[in-house]
Structure 1
Amino acid sequence: MSHGDLSVVHGTGSARTRLALAAGLFVSLLAMILAAPNAAHAATGAAGAGGHITHPELDWMGSTIRAHEGSDTGTKTVTPAVTQTPGMDVSGYQGSVNWATAWANGGKFAYIKATESTTYTNPSFTQQYNGSYNVGMIRGSYHFATPDTSGGAAQADYFVAHGGGWSKDGKTLPGALDMEYNPYGATCYGLSASGMVSWIQAFSNEYHAKTTRYPTIYTSTSWWSQCTGNSAAFATNNPLWVARYSSSVGTLPAGWGFYTFWQWADSGTFPGDQDRFNGALDRVQALANG
């Protein structure tokens, strides 16, 4: 074969190489185009797995209640029918709390936000949880539920592992599950009523398995009716913490004949939200002791 023949072969090889490279590039670009919707879906899925929890410091117990249900405590006097024990609930939004002052003002119990979803822990939790205990309050912790980011059992496990446990020391209340309007989207987190009931049952059962106690359920009658179909499935085991910023609790969610806690205002004498236990202090102690 002559030198000229070799040149022809080399030229043909270069053309084939360029053609192969071009074909490879085309295939890669086509794959990227086809994958784009899937990538977007994956990104959405990642957000659904916890990525959309963008402002957990603003998600406290009742943070969505006033916006959706309003308040009339400014014009009425709260006059419960039986002895009530005053207390409060706080979150990372309050930062370091002056517990000595809260105790001096009559606060007897406190609930502290511990967790949200399976990605957030309250950075002020230790100061708030231990500080309330150290001044003499009966304390507990709560979990802000986001049923669209992970399962109920997974969130219960995360809660217990990050401050939501219980011990029979006479000063630790069972954990509370905060069920309220979704601060990030659809009111009921995209779940059907039966799906929401199943999610809450999974959380409640897992918490019980880990601690021997059933969690208190915090909610408003309006949200509960809308998102669980006003389920009566939890009244036997779970104490009720009802949210209503008014002079009375009004109608309770189905099944519960009485409330255990009532969050009656989102500001007042104590830091955070204003709460009442439906009974005297010895009844708070009894709940703590199981």
Structure 2
Amino acid sequence: MPVHRPGSVRPRRLLSAGLLLAALSLGLTAPADAADTARPPRGSAHMGMGVLAHDGQHGTPAPTAATQTEGVDVAGYQGNVDWPTLWSSGVKWAYTKATEGTYYTNPYFAQQYNGSYNVGMIRGAYHFATPDTTSGATQANYFVDHGGGWSKDGRTLPGTLDIEWNPYGAECYGKSASAMVGWIADFLNTYKARTGRDAVIYTAASWWSDCTGNYGGFASANPLWIARYASEVGTLPAGWAYYTAWQYTSSGPTVGDHDRFNGALDRVVALANG
């Protein structure tokens, strides 16, 4: 009959149980850790970041009969921008990312915002919205306080609200359509109260439909900057009969994000003047 010394079996059982729990724990946490690793760091978002992934590429824009004015939009990841080359290529207006949420300011903002102005461009600033972090009013104030203001000098465009796919999580930032519309209205109302101008709205039609229920109530006051990498703009979000600007590619010359203003240069100046 085998003899078991006191305490000789239980430690082995405890060790086995501990190893099993550790293995289960690794199995449960690995997918979440992988997802977190795949997400970009906060602050790295920029205009059109999700367009290719969610909306796709639908051809190259064709020349249009109507007069349009070439522009670009830039962000911190592009570093110091070669503004003289862009100016010489026919780019006449530019938007620079100023802020994101209430936790990020673009470290290259001065070079990008002032550099475009110094070569003769009409320039503006944009804010990348994160509706899951703070209120619309809070983010509008942060934007105005960190480069998103406006002055009637004929060379400064009204600020733009960049509202699009969430690069850090759920597409609609965990908000219902009505809550998203409320957040956007909060931002727009605060921005106008601070600057006297109606902000431009940058978005994509598919995201707008998914996350606002294709709300049409902002079209009467807020110019539309539509994102679609295609041969034509396509169907616009509800309410807007026309677009003011179109981001048509993320792979243009000198810097990737190129845009067309829906009108001649004098119309860009008109928007700057309000």
Whether TM exceeds 0.5 here: the answer is yes
Q: In structure 2, give the amino acid aligned to 1:65.
A: V
Give the Cα–Cα distance (whole angstroms) in 2 for the partners of residues 63 and 139 of structure 1: 21
Which residue, 145, 149, 170 being the options, matches 1:165? 149
Give the Cα–Cα distance (whole angstroms) in 2 for the partners of residues 205 and 126 of structure 1: 26
Q: Describe the superposition over 1:62-81 as per-residue Cα deviations: whole angstroms up to 9, x where unpaired.
A: 011111111123xx342334
Deviation of the 1:130 alpha carbon: 0.3
1:192 aligns with 2:176: yes
Q: Is the 8 A contact 1:89 1:275 kept in 2?
A: yes
SS of 2:230's partner is: coil
Q: Which runs of 5+ in 2 are unaligned?
A: 1-38
Q: In structure 1, give the amino acid aligned to 2:224.
A: L
Deviation of the 1:139 alpha carbon: 0.2
Deviation of the 1:267 alpha carbon: 1.3
Distance 1:224-1:81 versus aligned 2 partners, 3 A rule? farther
Deviation of the 1:242 alpha carbon: 0.3
1:60 aligns with 2:46: yes
SS of 2:247's partner is: strand
SS of 2:58's partner is: coil
1:224 aligns with 2:208: yes
1:100 aligns with 2:87: no
Q: Is the 8 A contact 2:216 2:237 kept in 1?
A: yes
Q: Describe the superposition over 1:251-275 as per-residue Cα deviations: whole angstroms up to 9, x where unpaired.
A: 0000000000000000112413010
1:204 aligns with 2:188: yes
SS of 1:191's partner is: coil
Q: CA RMSD in A?
A: 1.2
Identical aligned residues as a percent:
64
TM-score (norm 2): 0.84
Q: How does 1:120-159 map to 2 (within 5 A)?
A: 120-159=104-143
Which residue, 221, 226, 232 being the options, matches 1:242? 226
Give the Cα–Cα distance (whole angstroms) in 1 for the partners of residues 117 and 145 of structure 2: 19
Give the Cα–Cα distance (whole angstroms) in 1 for the partners of residues 90 and 61 of structure 2: 18
SS of 1:139's partner is: strand
Give the Cα–Cα distance (whole angstroms) in 2 for the partners of residues 67 and 227 of structure 1: 17
Q: Which runs of 5+ in 1 are unaligned?
A: 1-51
Distance 1:221-1:168 versus aligned 2 partners, 3 A rule? same
1:276 aligns with 2:249: no
Q: In structure 1, give the amino acid aligned to 2:199.
A: P
Q: In structure 1, give the amino acid aligned to 2:52.
A: R
1:70 aligns with 2:56: yes
Q: Is the 8 A contact 1:105 1:270 kept in 2?
A: no
Q: How does 1:103-114 map to 2 (within 5 A)?
A: 103-114=87-98
Larger radius of gyration: 1
* Structure 1 residue aligned with 2:246: 262
SS of 1:203's partner is: helix
Q: In structure 2, give the amino acid aligned to 1:175.
A: G
**How many correspondences in the alignment?**
236
Give the Cα–Cα distance (whole angstroms) in 1 for the partners of residues 224 and 120 of structure 2: 24
Q: Is the 8 A contact 1:173 1:287 kept in 2?
A: yes
Give the Cα–Cα distance (whole angstroms) in 2 for the partners of residues 162 and 272 of structure 1: 24
Q: In structure 1, give the amino acid aligned to 2:74.
A: V
Distance 1:237-1:77 versus aligned 2 partners, 3 A rule? closer
SS of 1:161's partner is: helix
* Structure 1 residue aligned with 2:29: none
Q: Which has the higher helix share?
A: 1
Deviation of the 1:95 alpha carbon: 0.3
Q: Is the 8 A contact 1:141 1:175 kept in 2?
A: yes
